[in-house]
């Protein structure tokens, strides 16, 4: 990583590894594929992060509500497995809301939230630091889809990766395995991973969660184009696209797309990209697992599931993994 800009505010240290995601080439490559696609990280400018927080409060969006309940109901059991006095790193920490549930039982030596959305990360870290003045916070703005993202300048001690929100499910299984390999660098031979994983369930529940009645998920999906307009000097007109989300049972994943409503073309970083009517941009996948299929996947990256916590309706799961 390049030398970061560093800022200190009370108990919060903020490292900004700019440039974070100004990779116009990466954006353009996605639009040159037969199935146009965007990495879901492009949802998350500041506005996208605010919209995601709104999604987490929607009645249809069960993952946040159920995961929070699992963490609350099992906070002591989780601490018994993960141990106290650890250095907790949370990749894709967003608002850092969920870690609050565990802070009293885990009593970490330090918390390292890391996220691509730098302004939102800084705001969230300062808010958390004010509410937990005893907590040593080392916030890191970086892109975990790029090499070398594991922060280096963090306190010594036993390490715990906290990876809630089923963000793991947004990765293709092969990328998820690669991500677990990277976590081993941070774990440095010991410690573990506390991870939230969304489970298979009736399609109607899944489809409702990604097609909320208020249309917030649609706004969130479309906002990726606003972000691309800024990052890659593009001229997307959002009115030319519609949100489309559905469960793909063959791939066992929710897919989010933006569907072009007419034939038109867009300029991206000086290149002209054409869209046919009904042609889509695949903006996100959200893979669903069973406890067994997840255990099998992580085993191939050298991790063992030590314990799993699941809600009564078996909608969502939280797992504690250790290196095998
Ligand atoms: C689904 S949200 C989860 C937020 C929070 N952890 C939770 O459980 O509610 C995904 C988070 O990961 C961040 N993110 C997505 N892709 C990223 C990347 N490539 N590098 C760093 N952060 C990323 C987003 O900014 C967002 O805050």
Q: Mark the ranges of the chain whose per-residue pLDDT is less than 70.
A: 1-3, 18-22
Least Cα distance to 210 among 36, 69, 62 occurs for 62
Q: Is the CB of 143 under 6 A from ligand 1?
A: yes
Kindly report the protein residue whose alpha carbon is nearest to atom 12 of ligand 1: 92
Closest atom, ligand 1, to C-alpha of 170: 1
CATH of 5-27+62-201+289-323, one of 3.40.30.10, 3.40.50.150, 3.20.20.140, 2.160.10.10: 3.40.50.150
Q: What is the pLDDT of residue 16?
A: 84
Q: Residues in the chain, how many? A: 324
Q: Is the CB of 48 under 6 A from ligand 1?
A: no
Q: What is the pLDDT of residue 189?
A: 87
Q: Is 0.85 topped by the overall pTM?
A: yes
Q: What is the pLDDT of residue 28?
A: 94
Q: Is the CB of 168 under 6 A from ligand 1?
A: no
Q: Is the CB of 227 under 6 A from ligand 1?
A: no
Question: Ligand 1 centroid vs 53 CA: distance in angstroms?
Answer: 11
Per-residue b or e along 130-147, where b marks 16 or more CB atoms closer than 10 Å to that residue's CB: eebeebbbbbbbbbbbee
CB distance 117 to 48 below 8 Å: yes
Q: Give domain limits for the chain.
A: 5-27+62-201+289-323, 203-287
Per-residue b or e along 20-59, where b marks 16 or more CB atoms closer than 10 Å to that residue's CB: bbebbebbbebbeeeebbbbbbbbbbebbbebbbebbebe
Q: Is the CB of 63 under 6 A from ligand 1?
A: no
Q: To the nearest whole number, what is the mean pLDDT of the chain?
A: 94
User: In the chain, what's the furthest Cα-to-Cα distance?
Assistant: 57
């Amino acid at each position: 990583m390049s030398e970061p800009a560093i800022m200190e505010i009370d108990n919060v240290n903020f490292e900004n590894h700019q440039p974070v995601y100004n990779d116009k080439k990466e954006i353009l490559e996605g639009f040159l594929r037969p199935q146009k696609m965007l990495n879901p990280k492009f949802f998350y400018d500041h506005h996208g992060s605010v919209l995601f927080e709104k999604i987490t409060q929607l009645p249809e969006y069960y993952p946040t509500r159920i995961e929070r309940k699992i963490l609350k109901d099992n906070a002591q059991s989780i601490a018994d497995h993960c141990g106290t006095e650890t250095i907790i790193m949370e990749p894709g920490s967003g608002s850092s809301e969920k870690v609050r549930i565990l802070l009293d039982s885990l009593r970490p030596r330090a918390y390292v939230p890391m996220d691509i959305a730098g302004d939102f990360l800084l705001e969230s870290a300062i808010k958390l630091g004010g509410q937990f003045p005893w907590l040593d916070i080392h916030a890191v703005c970086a892109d975990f889809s790029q090499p070398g993202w594991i922060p280096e300048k963090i306190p010594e001690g036993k390490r715990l990766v906290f990876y809630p929100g089923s963000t793991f499910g947004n990765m293709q299984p092969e990328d998820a395995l690669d991500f677990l390999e990277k976590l081993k660098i941070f774990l440095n031979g010991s410690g573990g991973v506390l991870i939230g994983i969304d489970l298979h369930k009736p399609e109607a529940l899944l489809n409702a969660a990604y097609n909320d009645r208020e249309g917030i998920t649609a706004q969130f999906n479309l906002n990726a184009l606003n972000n691309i307009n800024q990052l890659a000097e593009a001229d997307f007109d959002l009115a030319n696209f519609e949100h489309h989300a559905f469960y793909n049972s063959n791939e066992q994943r929710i897919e989010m797309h933006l569907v072009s409503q007419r034939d038109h073309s867009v300029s991206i970083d000086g290149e002209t990209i054409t869209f046919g009517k009904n042609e889509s941009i695949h903006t996100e996948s959200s893979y669903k697992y069973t406890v067994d299929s997840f255990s099998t996947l992580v085993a191939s990256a050298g991790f063992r599931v030590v314990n799993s916590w699941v809600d009564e309706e078996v909608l969502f799961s939280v797992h504690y993994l250790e290196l095998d």
